[in-house]
Protein backbone atom coordinates (compact mmCIF):
# COMPACT_ATOMS: atom_id res chain seq x y z
CA UNK A 1 0.00 0.00 0.00
CA UNK A 2 2.79 2.40 0.88
CA UNK A 3 4.45 1.99 -2.55
CA UNK A 4 1.15 2.68 -4.29
CA UNK A 5 0.63 5.84 -2.25
CA UNK A 6 4.19 6.99 -2.92
CA UNK A 7 3.71 6.45 -6.64
CA UNK A 8 0.46 8.39 -6.58
CA UNK A 9 2.17 11.32 -4.87
CA UNK A 10 5.00 11.32 -7.39
CA UNK A 11 2.61 11.11 -10.34
CA UNK A 12 0.51 14.01 -9.03
CA UNK A 13 3.59 16.18 -8.72
CA UNK A 14 4.93 15.10 -12.10
CA UNK A 15 1.63 15.82 -13.81
CA UNK A 16 2.27 19.45 -12.96
CA UNK A 17 5.35 19.44 -15.14
CA UNK A 18 3.33 19.01 -18.32
CA UNK A 19 2.14 22.60 -18.06
CA UNK A 20 5.73 23.78 -18.38
CA UNK A 21 6.87 21.53 -21.24
CA UNK A 22 6.80 24.13 -23.95
CA UNK A 23 10.52 24.68 -24.56
CA UNK A 24 11.00 22.18 -27.42
CA UNK A 25 8.73 21.82 -30.44
CA UNK A 26 7.55 18.45 -31.71
CA UNK A 27 9.66 18.91 -34.85
CA UNK A 28 12.77 19.48 -32.72
CA UNK A 29 12.01 16.41 -30.63
CA UNK A 30 11.67 14.27 -33.74
CA UNK A 31 14.98 15.52 -35.10
CA UNK A 32 16.88 15.09 -31.84
CA UNK A 33 15.31 11.74 -31.07
CA UNK A 34 16.11 10.13 -34.42
CA UNK A 35 19.89 10.29 -33.94
CA UNK A 36 22.10 7.60 -32.43
CA UNK A 37 25.09 9.35 -30.89
CA UNK A 38 28.27 7.24 -31.01
CA UNK A 39 29.54 6.65 -27.47
CA UNK A 40 31.66 4.04 -25.71
CA UNK A 41 29.54 2.69 -22.86
CA UNK A 42 31.10 0.01 -20.63
CA UNK A 43 28.15 -1.83 -19.10
CA UNK A 44 30.38 -4.13 -17.06
CA UNK A 45 31.88 -1.05 -15.41
CA UNK A 46 28.42 0.47 -14.90
CA UNK A 47 27.38 -2.81 -13.28
CA UNK A 48 30.24 -2.49 -10.79
CA UNK A 49 29.06 1.01 -9.85
CA UNK A 50 25.49 -0.26 -9.56
CA UNK A 51 26.60 -3.06 -7.22
CA UNK A 52 28.18 -0.49 -4.92
CA UNK A 53 25.07 1.69 -5.03
CA UNK A 54 22.98 -1.35 -4.08
CA UNK A 55 25.39 -2.31 -1.29
CA UNK A 56 25.06 1.16 0.24
CA UNK A 57 21.59 0.10 1.45
CA UNK A 58 23.01 -2.88 3.39
CA UNK A 59 24.26 -3.16 6.96
CA UNK A 60 27.82 -2.22 7.78
CA UNK A 61 28.73 -5.87 8.28
CA UNK A 62 27.35 -6.80 4.87
CA UNK A 63 29.14 -3.89 3.20
CA UNK A 64 32.50 -4.78 4.75
CA UNK A 65 32.02 -8.43 3.82
CA UNK A 66 31.41 -7.63 0.15
CA UNK A 67 33.91 -4.76 -0.05
CA UNK A 68 36.74 -5.57 2.39
CA UNK A 69 38.67 -2.43 1.40
CA UNK A 70 35.98 -0.34 3.13
CA UNK A 71 37.53 2.03 5.67
CA UNK A 72 34.38 3.82 6.80
CA UNK A 73 30.61 3.36 6.83
CA UNK A 74 28.70 6.42 7.95
CA UNK A 75 25.14 7.61 8.46
CA UNK A 76 25.67 10.93 10.25
CA UNK A 77 23.15 13.02 12.13
CA UNK A 78 19.53 12.89 11.01
CA UNK A 79 20.28 12.73 7.29
CA UNK A 80 18.67 9.30 6.73
CA UNK A 81 21.48 8.72 4.21
CA UNK A 82 24.31 6.22 4.40
CA UNK A 83 27.63 6.01 2.58
CA UNK A 84 30.67 3.79 2.56
CA UNK A 85 34.24 4.62 1.59
CA UNK A 86 36.71 2.13 0.10
CA UNK A 87 40.41 2.78 -0.38
CA UNK A 88 43.01 0.89 -2.39
CA UNK A 89 46.36 2.08 -1.08
CA UNK A 90 48.35 0.29 -3.77
CA UNK A 91 46.39 1.83 -6.67
CA UNK A 92 45.77 5.07 -4.76
CA UNK A 93 42.06 5.14 -5.54
CA UNK A 94 39.00 5.57 -3.35
CA UNK A 95 35.35 4.74 -4.00
CA UNK A 96 32.38 6.39 -2.33
CA UNK A 97 28.88 4.91 -2.58
CA UNK A 98 25.79 6.69 -1.22
CA UNK A 99 22.35 5.23 -0.70
CA UNK A 100 19.12 7.11 -1.27
CA UNK A 101 16.98 8.29 1.57
CA UNK A 102 14.49 5.84 3.04
CA UNK A 103 11.88 8.60 2.87
CA UNK A 104 10.90 9.26 -0.74
CA UNK A 105 8.80 12.24 0.28
CA UNK A 106 12.08 14.14 0.60
CA UNK A 107 12.34 14.04 -3.19
CA UNK A 108 9.43 16.45 -3.55
CA UNK A 109 9.87 18.46 -0.36
CA UNK A 110 12.29 21.30 0.38
CA UNK A 111 12.73 22.40 -3.24
CA UNK A 112 14.07 25.82 -2.34
CA UNK A 113 16.97 26.96 -4.54
CA UNK A 114 19.97 28.61 -2.97
CA UNK A 115 23.43 29.71 -4.05
CA UNK A 116 26.39 27.87 -2.55
CA UNK A 117 27.76 31.22 -1.46
CA UNK A 118 30.73 29.95 0.52
CA UNK A 119 32.48 28.27 -2.40
CA UNK A 120 34.33 29.64 -5.40
CA UNK A 121 31.79 28.55 -8.01
CA UNK A 122 28.32 30.03 -7.54
CA UNK A 123 26.00 27.14 -8.41
CA UNK A 124 22.28 27.22 -7.60
CA UNK A 125 21.33 23.93 -5.94
CA UNK A 126 18.45 22.16 -4.22
CA UNK A 127 18.84 23.35 -0.62
CA UNK A 128 17.78 20.10 1.03
CA UNK A 129 20.02 17.89 -1.10
CA UNK A 130 23.04 20.14 -0.64
CA UNK A 131 22.52 20.34 3.11
CA UNK A 132 22.69 16.56 3.33
CA UNK A 133 25.70 16.40 1.02
CA UNK A 134 27.56 18.82 3.29
CA UNK A 135 26.86 16.68 6.36
CA UNK A 136 28.13 13.55 4.60
CA UNK A 137 31.22 15.37 3.36
CA UNK A 138 32.09 16.63 6.84
CA UNK A 139 31.67 13.12 8.25
CA UNK A 140 33.91 11.40 5.70
CA UNK A 141 36.59 14.12 5.36
CA UNK A 142 38.88 12.75 8.11
CA UNK A 143 39.08 9.45 6.20
CA UNK A 144 39.53 10.84 2.67
CA UNK A 145 42.92 10.78 0.92
CA UNK A 146 43.50 13.98 -1.02
CA UNK A 147 46.10 12.41 -3.36
CA UNK A 148 43.87 9.46 -4.31
CA UNK A 149 41.74 9.35 -7.47
CA UNK A 150 38.10 9.33 -6.41
CA UNK A 151 35.08 7.58 -7.93
CA UNK A 152 31.58 8.27 -6.58
CA UNK A 153 28.24 6.56 -7.12
CA UNK A 154 24.74 6.62 -5.70
CA UNK A 155 21.13 5.69 -6.31
CA UNK A 156 18.04 7.90 -6.13
CA UNK A 157 18.67 10.78 -3.71
CA UNK A 158 22.08 9.18 -3.18
CA UNK A 159 22.81 10.00 -6.82
CA UNK A 160 22.10 13.69 -6.32
CA UNK A 161 24.23 13.61 -3.16
CA UNK A 162 27.03 11.91 -5.10
CA UNK A 163 27.07 14.70 -7.69
CA UNK A 164 27.00 17.44 -5.05
CA UNK A 165 29.70 15.71 -3.01
CA UNK A 166 31.87 15.55 -6.13
CA UNK A 167 31.48 19.31 -6.64
CA UNK A 168 32.51 19.99 -3.04
CA UNK A 169 35.52 17.69 -3.35
CA UNK A 170 36.69 19.13 -6.68
CA UNK A 171 36.50 22.65 -5.30
CA UNK A 172 38.59 21.50 -2.34
CA UNK A 173 41.31 20.06 -4.57
CA UNK A 174 40.40 16.36 -4.73
CA UNK A 175 40.69 14.53 -8.04
CA UNK A 176 37.21 13.16 -8.79
CA UNK A 177 37.58 11.13 -11.96
CA UNK A 178 34.02 9.89 -12.40
CA UNK A 179 30.53 10.09 -10.90
CA UNK A 180 27.91 7.51 -11.93
CA UNK A 181 24.34 7.77 -10.65
CA UNK A 182 21.22 5.63 -10.97
CA UNK A 183 17.68 7.02 -10.94
CA UNK A 184 18.99 10.40 -9.78
CA UNK A 185 16.63 13.36 -9.23
CA UNK A 186 17.66 16.86 -10.37
CA UNK A 187 19.79 18.96 -8.03
CA UNK A 188 20.40 22.18 -9.97
CA UNK A 189 18.90 24.46 -12.62
CA UNK A 190 19.64 25.52 -16.17
CA UNK A 191 21.96 28.19 -14.80
CA UNK A 192 23.84 25.63 -12.70
CA UNK A 193 24.24 23.11 -15.52
CA UNK A 194 25.97 25.79 -17.59
CA UNK A 195 28.71 25.96 -14.93
CA UNK A 196 29.21 22.23 -14.43
CA UNK A 197 31.26 21.34 -17.50
CA UNK A 198 34.06 20.17 -15.19
CA UNK A 199 31.88 17.52 -13.53
CA UNK A 200 32.41 14.04 -15.01
CA UNK A 201 28.88 12.86 -14.31
CA UNK A 202 27.06 10.02 -16.10
CA UNK A 203 23.41 9.43 -15.28
CA UNK A 204 21.85 6.00 -15.78
CA UNK A 205 18.04 5.88 -15.81
CA UNK A 206 15.51 3.14 -16.37
CA UNK A 207 13.08 3.81 -19.20
CA UNK A 208 10.12 3.95 -16.79
CA UNK A 209 11.72 5.42 -13.67
CA UNK A 210 9.85 8.55 -12.61
CA UNK A 211 12.28 9.81 -9.97
CA UNK A 212 14.71 11.40 -12.47
CA UNK A 213 11.85 13.73 -13.46
CA UNK A 214 11.85 15.29 -9.98
CA UNK A 215 11.81 18.07 -8.84
CA UNK A 216 9.22 19.14 -11.41
CA UNK A 217 9.98 21.77 -14.02
CA UNK A 218 7.05 23.86 -12.81
CA UNK A 219 9.27 25.01 -9.94
CA UNK A 220 10.97 28.02 -11.50
CA UNK A 221 13.37 30.38 -9.78
CA UNK A 222 13.23 33.85 -11.31
CA UNK A 223 17.02 34.17 -11.14
CA UNK A 224 18.26 30.66 -11.94
CA UNK A 225 15.64 29.05 -14.17
CA UNK A 226 14.02 25.63 -13.97
CA UNK A 227 15.39 22.38 -12.57
CA UNK A 228 17.54 20.57 -15.13
CA UNK A 229 19.87 17.58 -15.26
CA UNK A 230 23.62 17.81 -15.77
CA UNK A 231 25.63 15.22 -17.64
CA UNK A 232 24.85 12.69 -20.39
CA UNK A 233 22.06 10.19 -19.89
CA UNK A 234 21.97 6.44 -20.54
CA UNK A 235 18.40 5.13 -20.77
CA UNK A 236 18.17 1.40 -20.06
CA UNK A 237 15.73 -0.47 -22.29
CA UNK A 238 14.83 -4.16 -22.47
CA UNK A 239 17.51 -6.74 -23.25
CA UNK A 240 20.71 -5.39 -24.83
CA UNK A 241 19.15 -2.13 -25.96
CA UNK A 242 19.79 1.35 -24.61
CA UNK A 243 19.69 5.02 -25.57
CA UNK A 244 22.61 7.41 -25.10
CA UNK A 245 21.81 11.10 -24.92
CA UNK A 246 24.56 13.74 -24.78
CA UNK A 247 24.12 16.35 -22.06
CA UNK A 248 22.41 18.96 -24.22
CA UNK A 249 19.97 16.56 -25.87
CA UNK A 250 19.17 14.84 -22.58
CA UNK A 251 18.05 18.12 -21.08
CA UNK A 252 15.90 19.02 -24.05
CA UNK A 253 14.03 15.79 -24.71
CA UNK A 254 13.77 14.14 -21.30
CA UNK A 255 10.21 15.49 -20.98
CA UNK A 256 9.20 13.16 -23.78
CA UNK A 257 10.42 10.21 -21.75
CA UNK A 258 8.44 11.53 -18.81
CA UNK A 259 5.27 11.74 -20.85
CA UNK A 260 5.57 8.14 -21.97
CA UNK A 261 6.59 6.82 -18.57
CA UNK A 262 3.67 8.47 -16.82
CA UNK A 263 1.24 5.88 -18.17
CA UNK A 264 3.19 2.77 -17.14
CA UNK A 265 5.43 3.87 -14.26
CA UNK A 266 5.93 1.64 -11.27
CA UNK A 267 8.15 2.22 -8.26
CA UNK A 268 9.74 -1.18 -8.92
CA UNK A 269 11.37 0.45 -11.94
CA UNK A 270 13.26 2.67 -9.50
CA UNK A 271 14.74 -0.14 -7.40
CA UNK A 272 18.43 -1.03 -7.71
CA UNK A 273 17.58 -4.66 -8.39
CA UNK A 274 15.89 -3.53 -11.58
CA UNK A 275 18.92 -1.46 -12.59
CA UNK A 276 21.28 -4.36 -11.91
CA UNK A 277 19.14 -6.69 -14.00
CA UNK A 278 19.00 -4.23 -16.90
CA UNK A 279 22.77 -3.68 -16.83
CA UNK A 280 23.51 -7.42 -16.64
CA UNK A 281 21.48 -7.96 -19.82
CA UNK A 282 23.88 -5.62 -21.63
CA UNK A 283 27.19 -6.82 -20.20
CA UNK A 284 27.72 -9.39 -22.97
CA UNK A 285 26.95 -6.93 -25.74
CA UNK A 286 24.76 -3.86 -25.98
CA UNK A 287 22.89 -2.22 -28.84
CA UNK A 288 22.40 1.54 -29.00
CA UNK A 289 19.13 2.73 -30.49
CA UNK A 290 17.71 6.19 -31.09
CA UNK A 291 15.44 7.85 -28.58
CA UNK A 292 12.54 7.58 -31.03
CA UNK A 293 13.05 3.82 -31.37
CA UNK A 294 12.85 3.12 -27.65
CA UNK A 295 9.14 2.18 -27.81
CA UNK A 296 10.14 -1.01 -29.64
CA UNK A 297 12.08 -2.19 -26.60
CA UNK A 298 9.69 -1.68 -23.71
CA UNK A 299 10.32 -4.38 -21.14
CA UNK A 300 7.48 -6.53 -19.79
CA UNK A 301 6.70 -5.85 -16.17
CA UNK A 302 8.59 -8.04 -13.71
CA UNK A 303 8.55 -8.25 -9.96
CA UNK A 304 11.75 -7.12 -8.27
CA UNK A 305 12.63 -6.98 -4.62
CA UNK A 306 12.54 -3.64 -2.86
CA UNK A 307 15.70 -2.11 -1.41
Q: Does residue 41 fall inside a structural domain?
A: yes
State residue 199 phi and psi, 5-degree precision.
Answer: -85, 115
Q: Does residue 283 fall inside a structural domain?
A: yes
Which tens digit of pLDDT belongs to each residue from 118-171? 566 688 888 888 889 999 999 999 999 999 999 999 999 999 999 999 999 999
Confidence of residue 106 (pLDDT cuts 50, 70, 90): low
Q: Does residue 303 fall inside a structural domain?
A: no
CA–CA distance from 287 to each of 44, 220, 293 (Å)? 14, 37, 12
High-pLDDT (> 70) share of the chain, %: 69
CA–CA distance from 99 to each of 10, 41, 53, 122 (Å)? 20, 23, 6, 26
Q: Does residue 305 fall inside a structural domain?
A: no
Question: Under a CB-based contact definition with an 8 Å cutoff, are residues 149 and 94 in contact?
Answer: yes
Which tens digit of pLDDT belongs to each residue from 21-46? 334 555 555 555 566 666 789 999 99
pLDDT mean across residues, the chain: 80
Total number of domains constituting the chain: 1
Question: Under a CB-based contact definition with an 8 Å cutoff, are residues 122 and 191 in contact?
Answer: no
Residue 65 CB coordination number (10 Å): 12
Structural domain harbouring 203: 2-297
> 36: domain CATH number?
3.40.50.1820
Question: Under a CB-based contact definition with an 8 Å cutoff, are residues 250 and 223 in contact?
Answer: no
- 71 class by beta-carbon count within 10 Å (0-12 exposed, 13-18 middle, 19+ buried): middle
Q: Does residue 302 fall inside a structural domain?
A: no
Which comes out higher in pLDDT, residue 266 or 89? 89
Q: Does residue 95 fall inside a structural domain?
A: yes
| Predicted TM-score (pTM) of this structure | 0.83
Q: Does residue 49 fall inside a structural domain?
A: yes
Which comes out higher in pLDDT, residue 306 or 28? 28
Q: Does residue 306 fall inside a structural domain?
A: no
Amino acid sequence: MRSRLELSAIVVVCLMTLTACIGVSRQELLLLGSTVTPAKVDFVELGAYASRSKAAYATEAAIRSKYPATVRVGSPGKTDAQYFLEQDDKAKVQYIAIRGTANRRNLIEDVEMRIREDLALAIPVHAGFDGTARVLYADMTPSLKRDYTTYITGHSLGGALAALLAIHMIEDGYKVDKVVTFGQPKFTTTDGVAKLGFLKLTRVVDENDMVPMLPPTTIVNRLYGVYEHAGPEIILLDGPHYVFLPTHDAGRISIGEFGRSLNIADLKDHHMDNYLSRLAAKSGGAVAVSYDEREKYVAPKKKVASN
